[in-house]
């Protein structure tokens, strides 16, 4: 007969713990992260909804931390949830927001120990909002990636070709159709912000009412974000479309745009175009990726810059850059107003 009490009980507990660790190799840990917060959130929602539908119709085995909008992590509370068995179910899901991105290396061991103890009935989802590069450099990410059942879902900002495909699929998903020219115009106006893009697509499909979305619909309904407006303005300037360039400036001012910020953005774009023009002068077949790598900008922005730079000479852009430098000094000394500086720079670029 085996005695279960007294001095034998601690030995039995140790044996049970050893077995638990041995069978924990199927523990599932999922890391979802990246610059594209829209797709990160979509993936988290997809996984949470699928889990609830399959394992947790009551919602009693799905927990998210930190709770109530807090940014504090109660280590004991969270790891207790991670290491607990599900209540009247076969699985538990614990979602933890921005742990990897915010945790200091000195504090990570307690989390690694906790995750190593969780039963195979627990699914942990680490939901991160930092960039893919930033997260993948974190020590905790590196260590967790070594686990046999860890899964990483990175979501960087979409490349131009991927963005085109995403918009087309999103339009189709909502039951709409879009012309190629309208697709290009929509992407130029909105860029890579998929939160705004999704909203604009829904609005356009409702307006189109069964017909294909065209350029005029995009022009009428979609107000470009600020970066999109700068792209439009530089497009008009590079093509010497004076009337269109002035219209865009008026539109931005009427919508409340600050001329100081306009001047700053113009300066930034001129510097990007200078680099693009220099690259093209050295190699007329230079790619957007070369410019993106050289300036650490998104390939979508690099592609637009290369297209626009072809409408200027290096000397023209250098003059505009010198103008901007001079106006910056005069603005700070009160010798010129921002709106006049913006108009003069625009005129210089068009000339």
Q: How far apart are CA 88 and CA 91, in angstroms?
A: 9
Helices (H) and strands (E) in the chain, counts: 18, 5
Give the pLDDT of residue 91: 93
Beta bridge partners of 28: 123
Q: Domain 226-350: state its class.
A: mainly alpha
Give the pLDDT of residue 210: 92
Q: How far lies 12's CA from each of 3, 15, 50, 294, in Å?
A: 10, 5, 38, 62
Give the pLDDT of residue 185: 86
Interval 317-334: pLDDT, tens: 998 888 888 888 888 888
Contact 93, 54 (CB under 8 A): no
Lookup result for tokens 């009693």: 60
Q: How far apart are CA 277 and CA 314, in angstroms?
A: 6
Q: How far apart are CA 35 and CA 191, in angstroms?
A: 14
By residue count, the chain amounts to: 351
Tokens of 53: 């539908």
SS3 333: coil
CB-CB neighbours of 324 under 10 Å = 21
Q: How far apart are CA 339 and CA 272, in angstroms?
A: 22
Give the pLDDT of residue 250: 83
For domain 6-154, the CATH superfamily is P-loop containing nucleotide triphosphate hydrolases (3.40.50.300)
Q: How far apart are CA 145 and CA 83, in angstroms?
A: 19
Is residue 236 packed enough to be buried (19+ CB in 10 Å), middle (13-18) or exposed (0-12)? buried
State the Rg of the chain over Cα: 27
Spans in the chain with pLDDT lower than 70: 1-27, 69, 224-228
Contact 23, 145 (CB under 8 A): no
Q: Could you write out the DSSP letters of every residue in 24-91?
A: GGG-EEEEEE-S-HHHHHHHHHHHHHHHHHHH-TTSTTEEEES-TT-----HHHHHHHHHSPPSSSS-
Considering the domain 160-221 in this protein, what is its CATH number? 1.10.8.60
Tokens of 16: 């049970």
Contact 275, 291 (CB under 8 A): yes
Interval 133-166: pLDDT, tens: 999 999 999 999 988 788 999 999 888 889 999 9
Contact 124, 28 (CB under 8 A): yes
Pairing verdict, β 62-65 and 28-33: unpaired
Q: Where are the domains of the chain?
A: 6-154, 160-221, 226-350
Tokens of 250: 């008026």
Residues in CB range of 172: below 8 A, 6 or more apart = none
Give the pLDDT of residue 79: 93
CB-CB neighbours of 268 under 10 Å = 13
CB-CB neighbours of 211 under 10 Å = 10
């Amino acid at each position: 007969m085996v005695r279960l009490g007294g001095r034998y009980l601690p030995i039995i507990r140790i044996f049970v713990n050893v077995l638990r660790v041995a069978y924990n190799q199927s523990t599932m840990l999922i890391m979802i992260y990246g610059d594209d917060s829209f797709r990160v959130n979509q993936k988290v929602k997809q996984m949470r909804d699928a889990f609830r539908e399959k394992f947790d119709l009551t919602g009693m085995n799905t927990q998210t931390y930190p709770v109530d909008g807090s940014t504090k992590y109660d280590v004991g509370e969270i790891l207790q949830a991670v290491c607990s068995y599900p209540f009247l179910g076969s699985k538990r899901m614990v979602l933890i927001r921005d742990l990897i991105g915010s945790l200091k290396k000195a504090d990570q061991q307690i989390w690694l120990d906790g995750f190593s103890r969780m039963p195979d009935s627990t699914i942990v989802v680490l939901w991160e909002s930092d960039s893919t590069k930033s997260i993948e450099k974190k020590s905790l990410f590196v260590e967790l990636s070594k686990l046999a059942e860890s899964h990483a879902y990175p979501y960087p900002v979409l490349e131009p070709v991927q963005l085109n495909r995403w918009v087309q699929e999103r339009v189709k998903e909502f039951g709409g159709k879009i012309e190629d020219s309208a697709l290009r115009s929509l992407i130029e106006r909105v860029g890579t912000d998929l939160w705004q893009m999704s909203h604009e697509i829904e609005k356009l499909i409702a307006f189109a009412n069964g017909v294909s979305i065209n350029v005029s619909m995009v022009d009428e309904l979609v107000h470009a974000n600020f970066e999109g407006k700068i792209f439009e303005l530089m497009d008009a300037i590079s093509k010497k479309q004076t009337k269109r360039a002035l219209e865009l400036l008026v539109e931005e001012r009427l919508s409340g745009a600050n001329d100081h910020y306009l001047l700053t953005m113009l300066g930034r774009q001129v510097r990007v175009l200078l680099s693009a023009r220099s690259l093209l002068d050295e190699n007329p077949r230079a790619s957007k990726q070369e410019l993106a790598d050289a300036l650490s900008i998104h390939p979508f922005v690099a592609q637009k810059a290369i297209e626009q730079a072809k409408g200027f000479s290096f000397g023209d852009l250098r003059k505009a850059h010198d103008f901007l430098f001079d106006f910056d000094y005069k603005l700070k000394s009160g010798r010129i107003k921002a709106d006049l500086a913006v108009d003069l720079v625009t005129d210089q670029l068009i000339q």
